[in-house]
């Protein structure tokens, strides 16, 4: 009788990286749907375009690196990166910007570091930061929510959107569908108090609902991921709490100059970041305690950059900064193991 | 029912326990051959006390323990010892090990045996020795010899006895069936253990997926005089790990690197309790155990009471194996068990389960994918380690970091590998790292030892060298002393031989003294003359006395002068006698020889007739001088 020799454990939970990635994609659906409903077809087109590019770049670079192409393509990580980038950039962003972004994310942000699991920075955020610094005008001209585009429901037609992304768009038409984001409005309000800004800006007074709805959709997806145990609560909750605390404090002292906590939580990329970006396992801190520190720091940084920084939203920079700090956090946040009196801190030599 | 605590992590793999609990425990058929490994647990292998060809009876001692952590072996049935040598054994390495091969004779003839009359009246040490003689070893996990754990009452204060009935691994139902059918035996065993350890509290930890076993235990515990609690814990792997069960039942953690007894707790498995009961009440050694035979590749999964040494093949046959379906054969559970490559491997004291798995049931793991640090392993680790960090450290051979992240607290339960979406065989990485660290440590120890030995050798050599040197010096001094004394004797001889040399030799030190005395006398004389002259000139009194003194001094000075002169002459005479300075003589002779040689050479080179003649005369003179010196040298030099 000849039998194979295998090491324990001999059974495995039916689980795979591809499965994890599929769950993330599934969880993104409500957010994508909300963005499509409120901002038009741009998001969908960007996702498809970025997805195709990501698969293409991934395949080429895997080939160049002499890795099994299909085996790694199947893990779905490239598509998730592409999707995160696609929902982060403005829906009308021209095709070449997406191309540059995906190239940076997949090739520079991921494979130059050794591929999946090795990248120190969140690839989508690396790309986003690069685009924001390189093309600030295009990157801050967001699509106006449908409510502001005339009477009743009106979003840019699919074909026109396609044309706007892939060919030079008719400026007049294009302008009527773009506008500033609420975060932009609050930032660039001149000498107005927060309340005055709210009254004067249609984006804030009328369009804000669309942003709330999109945030709620991301939150839904996040709850789904928590429920399926794809992510743990530590990073998202600590980030949202830290952001809430910071904004409450400043809003409490000086409501004329600072936005309220709910505004911070429900606009911009807060919810997307909390559940889909800072939970990127590869580039975040390792332990549960580490993720609390990691998330909270990002929350604080987002508030700081939004309030006093030069950019309307601070998610990408906050995430990248904390990616940088993640290994450091890991060293100091080891959990206390069974049978030990206290957690070990620092690198230490012999145990 | 007390409070049940929780432990971090854990997983819920499919239980697969129903298959093997449908029928009661069956008696396994008597195999033709039994292979009894000499080593069935950690510690030292037992030493065989039978010879090939001996007929042994059931229960007869066939191998005795060596050292404290070792367990004796007994013949599981009557038969003839056919060989003692290597045979495949149940070990993760797959290597062969020494076994006693017993050919059964079908008689199943017991050796004379009987239980202890009243163990409560015995000295604990006698009772423990009886249990040791019966070869009882832990039947749950590592198979630690039980008697060692029963001694613990002497060195530790044991306040809690935990009976491990959790049996958390999927598939295994041996303990479950044992509790259902032999709960009274278990209780009897617990009584004995409790008598030895005297705990104040006894807890039976059992998972809630064994309702019938819980019922059976509750039934026998009714009216029991002991303070026993049945603690039902939620089904979660690995609740049955000793440390995890302790945490579940008491909320306490066993400190890292320590044993449960250090916090006053001793754990025993239900199977072990039964074995103790049989040993004490019937005098039966541990020669059989309950084994679950299950898996998709057997038609009748069930539990067998099998003799130790029964080859797996016999049990699989009894459970109707579909040979074509068999893909892997696992000994133990699916989470921590080991695969075996040979069906002749025997049942040992710790074999609780054999899983004959089909390919669909336990497919090979998919290829390993990159770790994405998804953190799922950390969420399930029962020891609260950081499995993914340990994985990176193990893979990158950063063993110091792995160790700093408490690698050695890993119990290798496999929960992390079970949930890993990247199919990384994490436990293998940890085993690798542990063995590498152990190897490094062993090498370090060896190197240290070698260095110490080298240093010791160096020191020894130096010491020996020094001793040798000292001895040599001592010898040299001895020789010098001997020579000195010889010289002295010679000198004495010489002294007695020549009297003229003696005064010179003895006068020599006095010469200086005499000289001084003469000088002093002269000075005194001069002063006296001056004083006399002065007195004479001035016409002082007592001039006669002065004159007398002067005359006296003049005489004394004269004498001193003469004595000095005489001594000086004697010295000179002695020097003249001694005169022939050997060294000087040698030098002179050598110089004369050299002069002769020089002249001879010059002579051969000179052509001028006149000069030649002169040189020849010179040479004759020189030769004469040289000859004379040589003559004198040969006369004066010692023979």
pLDDT tens readout for residues B13-50: 999 999 999 999 999 999 999 999 998 877 788 999 99
Kindly determine whether residue A15 and residue B419, on different chains, have CB atoms separated by under 8 Å: yes
What integer pLDDT is reported at residue B220 of this predicted model?
92
Whether A11 and B335 lie within 8 Å, measured CB to CB: yes
Cα gap B33→B344, rounded to integer Å = 10
Q: State how far the Cα of A56 lies from the Cα of A350, in Å rounded to an integer.
A: 47
Residue tagged 């009876």 (tokens): B57
Question: In the predicted model, what is the mean pLDDT of chain A?
Answer: 88
**Most confidently modeled of B82-96, B163-177, B543-557?**
B163-177
Q: Which of A19-23, B233-237, B252-256, B586-590 is the least confident region?
A: B586-590
Strand pairing category for B302-307 and B288-294:
antiparallel
**C-alpha span between B60 and B83 (Å, rounded):** 17
Q: To the nearest 10°, the Cα dihedral for B612, B615, B616, B618?
A: 170
Phi-psi region of B43 (alpha: psi -120 to 50; beta: other; left: phi over 0): left
* Residues of B in Cβ contact (< 8 Å) with A119: none
Predicted confidence (pLDDT) per residue in B202-237, tens digit? 999 999 999 999 999 999 998 888 889 999 999 999
**For the residues A263-279, what does the mean pLDDT come to?**
93
Determine the longest span between alpha carbons in chain A, in angstroms: 86
Q: Full-prediction pTM beyond 0.90?
A: no
Assign B498 a pLDDT band (cuts: 50, 70, 90).
Answer: low
Query: Residue A134 — left, alpha, or beta (φ > 0 → left; ψ -120 to 50 → alpha)?
Result: alpha
**Is the Cβ of A281 closer than 8 Å to some Cβ of chain B?**
yes
B398, B225 contact by CB (below 8 A): no
Output the pLDDT for position A4. Answer: 66
In this structure, of A19-23, B11-15, B106-110, the range with the lowest mean pLDDT score is B106-110
Percent of chain B with pLDDT over 70: 94
Confidence of residue B505 (pLDDT cuts 50, 70, 90): very low
Per-residue burial over B535-549, b = 16 or more CB atoms within 10 Å of its CB, e = otherwise? beeeeeeeeeebeeb
Full DSSP string of A92-157: T--HHHHHHHHHIIIIITTGGGTSTTT-SS-HHHHHHHHHHHH-HHHHH-EEPPGGGSSSSS----
Chain B closest-CA separation from residue A230 CA (Å): 8
Predicted ipTM beyond 0.90: no
d(CA B637, CA A248): 120
User: Cα angle vertex A344, ends A339, A350, to 5°?
Assistant: 95
pLDDT of B74 > 80? The answer is yes
- pLDDT tens-digit profile of B255-280? 998 889 889 999 999 999 999 999 99
Pairwise CA distance, residues A334 & B402, whole Å: 12
Q: Provide the pLDDT for residue A137.
A: 84
pLDDT of residue A176: 67
Give residue-wise pLDDT tens across range B390-425.
Answer: 999 999 999 998 998 999 999 999 999 999 999 999
What CA–CA distance (Å, rounded) separates B508 from B555?
A: 25
- The per-type count for chain A, helices as H runs and strands as E runs, is 18, 2
What is the percent of chain A with per-residue pLDDT over 90, rounded to a whole number?
A: 60
Instruction: For residue B289, give the 3-state DSSP assignment.
Output: strand
pLDDT of residue A169: 62
The residue-averaged pLDDT of A29-35 equals 95
Going by pLDDT thresholds of 50, 70 and 90, the confidence category of residue B70 is confident
> Sign of the C-alpha dihedral, residues A117, A120, A126, A130?
negative
The SS3 call for residue B295 is: coil
Q: Which residues pair with B269 in a beta bridge?
A: B164
| Confidence category of residue A350, pLDDT binned at 50, 70, 90 | very low
DSSP string, A203-262: HHHTTHHHHHHHHHHHHHHHHHHHHTTSS-SHHHHHHHHHHHHHHHHHHHH-TTTS--HH
Q: Give the Cα separation of B212 and B173 in Å (integer).
A: 12
pLDDT, greater one: B607 or A321: A321
Q: Tokens 């010892």 sit at which residue?
A: B81
Cα dihedral A9, A13, A19, A25 sign: negative
**Comparing A69-83, A277-291, B336-350, B558-572, which segment has the lowest mean pLDDT?**
B558-572
Q: How far is A282 from chain B (nearest CA, A)?
A: 5
Site of tokens 């049940």: B4
Are the beta carbons of B336 and A7 separated by less than 8 Å?
no
Mean pLDDT check: name the lowest of A301-310, B474-483, B509-518, B554-563: B509-518
Residues of A in contact with B168 (CB under 8 A): none
Chain B interface includes A22 (CB < 8 A): no
pLDDT of B639 over the 50 cut: no
What residues of chain A lie within 8 A of the CB of B14, using their CB?
11
CB distance B14–A11 less than 8 Å? yes
Per-residue pLDDT, averaged over A269-275, amounts to: 94
Residue of higher predicted confidence among B614 and B329: B329
- Alpha-carbon gap, residue A313 to A305, rounded angstroms: 7
Question: Is residue A206 predicted with pLDDT exceeding 50?
Answer: yes
The crossing angle, in degrees rounded to 10, of helices B543-578 and B501-538 is 160
Chain A, 51 to 110: residues with Cβ < 8 Å from chain B are 71, 75, 77
- A117 at B interface, C-beta within 8 A: yes
Q: Say yes or no for a CB contact (<8 Å) between B372 and A17.
A: yes
A155 Cβ contact list (under 8 Å, min separation 6): A37, A38, A39, A40, A41, A146, A149
Q: Higher pLDDT residue, B212 or B117? A: B212
B383:A338 CB<8 A? yes
* B8 vs A contacts (CB less than 8 Å): 338
Report the pLDDT value the prediction gives residue B504, as an integer from 0 to 100. 46
CB contact under 8 A, B253 and A338: yes
Q: Residues B333-370: pLDDT tens digits?
A: 999 998 888 888 999 999 999 999 998 998 888 888 99
- CB pair distance less than 8 Å for B335 and A4: no
What's the pLDDT at A87? 95
Answer yes or no: is pLDDT of A50 > 90: yes
Residue A291 main-chain phi, psi, to 5 deg: -70, -30
Q: Which of A232, A338, A351 to mutate to probe the B interface, most B CBs <10 Å?
A: A338
Assess whether pLDDT exceeds 70 at residue B638: no
Q: Assess whether pLDDT exceeds 80 at residue A277.
A: yes
Per-residue pLDDT, averaged over B508-520, amounts to 76
Q: What average pLDDT does this structure show over B289-303?
A: 94
């Amino acid at each position: 009788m000849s039998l194979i020799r295998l090491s324990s454990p001999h059974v495995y939970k039916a689980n795979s990286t591809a499965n994890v990635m599929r769950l993330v994609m599934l969880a993104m659906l409500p957010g994508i749907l909300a963005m499509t409903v409120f901002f038009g077809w741009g998001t969908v087109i960007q996702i498809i375009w970025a997805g195709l590019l990501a698969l293409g770049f991934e395949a080429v670079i895997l080939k160049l690196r002499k890795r099994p192409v299909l085996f790694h393509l199947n893990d779905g990580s490239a598509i998730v990166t592409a999707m995160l980038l696609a929902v982060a950039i403005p829906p009308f962003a021209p095709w070449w910007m997406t191309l540059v972004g995906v190239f940076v994310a997949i090739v520079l942000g991921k494979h130059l570091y050794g591929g999946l699991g090795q990248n120190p920075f969140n690839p989508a955020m690396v790309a986003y930061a690069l685009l924001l610094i390189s093309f600030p005008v295009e990157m801050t001209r967001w699509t106006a929510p449908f409510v502001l585009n005339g009477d009743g429901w009106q979003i840019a037609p699919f074909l026109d959107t396609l044309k706007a992304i892939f060919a030079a768009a008719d400026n007049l038409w294009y302008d009527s569908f773009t506008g500033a984001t609420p975060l932009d409005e609050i930032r660039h309000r001149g000498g107005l108090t927060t309340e005055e800004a709210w009254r004067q800006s249609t984006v804030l007074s009328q369009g804000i609902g669309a942003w709330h709805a999109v945030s709620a959709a991301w939150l839904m997806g996040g709850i789904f991921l928590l429920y399926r145990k794809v992510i743990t609560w530590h990073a998202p909750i600590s980030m949202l709490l830290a952001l809430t605390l910071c904004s409450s404090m400043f809003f409490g002292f000086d409501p004329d100059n600072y936005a309220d906590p709910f505004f911070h939580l429900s606009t911009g990329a807060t919810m997307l970041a909390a559940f889909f970006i800072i939970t990127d396992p590869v580039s975040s801190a390792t332990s549960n305690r580490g993720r609390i520190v990691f998330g909270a720091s990002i929350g604080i940084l987002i508030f700081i950059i939004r309030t006093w920084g030069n950019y309307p939203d601070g998610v990408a920079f906050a995430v990248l900064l904390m990616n940088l700090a993640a290994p450091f956090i890991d060293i100091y946040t080891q959990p206390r193991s069974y049978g030990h009196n206290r957690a070990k801190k620092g690198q230490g030599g012999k145990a | 029912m007390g409070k049940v605590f929780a432990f971090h992590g854990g997983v819920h793999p499919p239980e697969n326990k129903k298959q093997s609990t449908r029928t009661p425990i069956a008696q396994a058929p008597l195999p033709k051959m039994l292979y009894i490994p000499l080593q069935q647990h950690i510690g030292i292998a037992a030493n065989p006390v039978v010879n090939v060809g001996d007929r042994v009876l059931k229960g007869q001692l066939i191998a005795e323990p060596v050292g404290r952590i070792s367990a004796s072996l007994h013949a599981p049935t009557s038969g003839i010892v056919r060989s003692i040598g290597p045979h495949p054994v149940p070990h993760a390495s797959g290597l062969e090990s020494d076994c006693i091969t017993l050919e059964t004779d079908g008689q199943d003839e017991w050796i004379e045996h009987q239980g202890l009359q009243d163990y409560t009246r015995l000295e604990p040490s006698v009772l423990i020795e009886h249990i040791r003689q019966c070869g009882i070893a832990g039947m749950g996990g590592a198979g630690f010899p039980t008697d060692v754990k029963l001694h613990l009452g002497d060195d530790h204060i044991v306040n809690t006895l935990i009976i491990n009935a959790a049996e958390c691994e999927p598939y295994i139902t041996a303990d479950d069936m044992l509790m259902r059918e032999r709960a009274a035996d278990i209780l009897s065993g617990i009584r004995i253990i409790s008598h030895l350890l005297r705990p104040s509290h006894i807890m039976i930890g059992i998972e809630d997926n064994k309702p019938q076993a819980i019922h059976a235990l509750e039934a026998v515990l009714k009216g029991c005089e002991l303070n026993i609690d049945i603690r039902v814990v939620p089904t979660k792997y690995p609740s049955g790990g000793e440390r995890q069960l302790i945490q579940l039942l008491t909320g306490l953690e066993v400190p890292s690197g320590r044993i449960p007894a250090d916090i006053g707790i001793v754990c025993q498995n239900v199977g072990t309790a039964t074995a103790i009961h049989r040993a004490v009440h019937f005098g039966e050694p541990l020669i059989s155990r309950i084994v679950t035979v299950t898996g998709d590749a057997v038609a009748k999964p069930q539990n067998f009471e099998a003799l130790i040494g029964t080859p797996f093949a016999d049990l699989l046959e009894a459970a109707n194996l579909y040979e074509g379906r068999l893909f892997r054969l696992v000994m133990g559970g699916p989470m921590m068990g080991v695969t075996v490559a040979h069906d002749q491997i025997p049942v040992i004291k710790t074999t609780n389960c054999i899983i004959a798995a089909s390919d669909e049931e336990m497919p090979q793991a998919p290829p390993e994918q990159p770790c994405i640090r998804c953190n799922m392993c950390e969420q399930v680790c029962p020891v609260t380690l950081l499995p993914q960090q340990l994985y990176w450290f193990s893979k990158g051979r950063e063993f110091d970091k792995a160790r700093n992240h408490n690698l050695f607290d890993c119990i290798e339960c496999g929960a992390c590998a079970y949930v890993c979406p990247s199919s990384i065989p994490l436990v293998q990485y940890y085993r690798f790292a542990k063995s590498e660290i152990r190897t490094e440590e062993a090498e370090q120890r060896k190197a240290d030892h070698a260095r110490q030995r080298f240093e010791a050798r160096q020191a020894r050599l130096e010491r020996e060298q020094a001793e040798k040197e000292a001895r040599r010096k001592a010898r040299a001094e001895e020789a010098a002393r001997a020579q000195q004394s010889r010289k002295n004797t010679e000198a004495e001889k010489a002294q007695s031989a020549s009297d003229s040399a003696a005064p010179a030799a003895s006068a020599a030190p006095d010469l200086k003294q005499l000289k001084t005395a003469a000088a002093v006398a002269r000075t005194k004389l001069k002063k006296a003359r001056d004083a006399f002259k002065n007195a004479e000139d001035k016409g002082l009194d007592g001039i006669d006395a002065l004159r007398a003194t002067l005359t006296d001094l003049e005489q004394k000075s004269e004498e001193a002068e003469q004595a000095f002169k005489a001594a000086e002459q004697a010295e000179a005479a002695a020097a003249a006698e001694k005169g022939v300075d050997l060294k000087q003589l040698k030098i002179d002779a050598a110089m004369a020889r050299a002069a002769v040689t020089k002249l001879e050479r010059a002579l051969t080179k000179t052509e001028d007739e006149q000069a030649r003649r002169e040189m020849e005369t010179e040479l004759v003179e020189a030769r004469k001088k040289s000859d004379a010196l040589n003559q004198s040298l040969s006369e004066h030099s010692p023979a």
